[in-house]
Chains A and B, each alone.
Chain A
């Protein structure tokens, strides 16, 4: 069974600084997708970034980038120039292939950006 682990329940960072959130996963599949979702206090789930497993190049979306290490099954999220609006819970997620395409989430990391 696939599992996703986020080992940092809570983190904080000063505004304008850089922070990295960790995520590891376990799977025997060779092709899959990885995602980071943001959940602000409004409870809405917002897709931050996604990575295709067969692509070597790390995905980047503005201030958000990932460090994808396929052999180590690691998928960390780096937030540069942190802003107060980045305060949220962040979920790492893994999507299986095959016929089901199920999205499996990690436990979440609560990030607080301090002024």
Chain B
């Protein structure tokens, strides 16, 4: 079982470039989410999805887009990267939206925007 797989692990972008962070899970989880981790601020929720075709905004959604066309995949798109988006990004999934289920995390993507 691969669990939650994030790619790439590291990425450097120039301001204004676009890119997609990939997230895939093979556990048939309904719930998937994206967090960003910044020093002194913990992890903050960017977007989440409770099932295929359903997405919603978290605490810090500006500058990011998501879609959920399949149960397995939940990509995060940066349309025009900014230095403020330099961060470590985590994808996480859970079996369903029930809040007592364990959240499984990917290994993270370290993104630098120059």
| A positions within 8 Å CB-CB of B | 4, 6, 9, 32-33, 43-45, 47, 52, 91, 95-97, 99-108
Contacts and interface: CB of A to CB of B under 8 A. Distances in A.
Interface of B: 31, 33, 35, 40-45, 48, 50, 56, 58-59, 88, 90, 92, 94, 97-103, 105, 107-108
Contacts of A103: 33, 45, 92, 103
B45 to A, nearest CB: 6
Q: Which 4 A-B pairs have the closest CB atoms?
A: A45-B105, A105-B42, A101-B99, A105-B43
A52 B33 CA distance: 22
Main secondary structure on chain A at its contact with chain B? Answer: loop
A97 B98 CA distance: 8
Nearest to A35: B103
A106 B42 contact: yes
Nearest to A43: B108
Contacts of B105: 44-45
B42 A100 contact: no
B99 A91 contact: no
Which of A33, A45, A96, A105 has the most chain B CB atoms closer than 10 A to its own CB? A45
A97 B40 CA distance: 26
B32 to A, nearest CB: 12
A37 to B, nearest CB: 8
Nearest to B31: A101
Nearest to A103: B103
B56 A100 contact: yes
Nearest to B96: A101
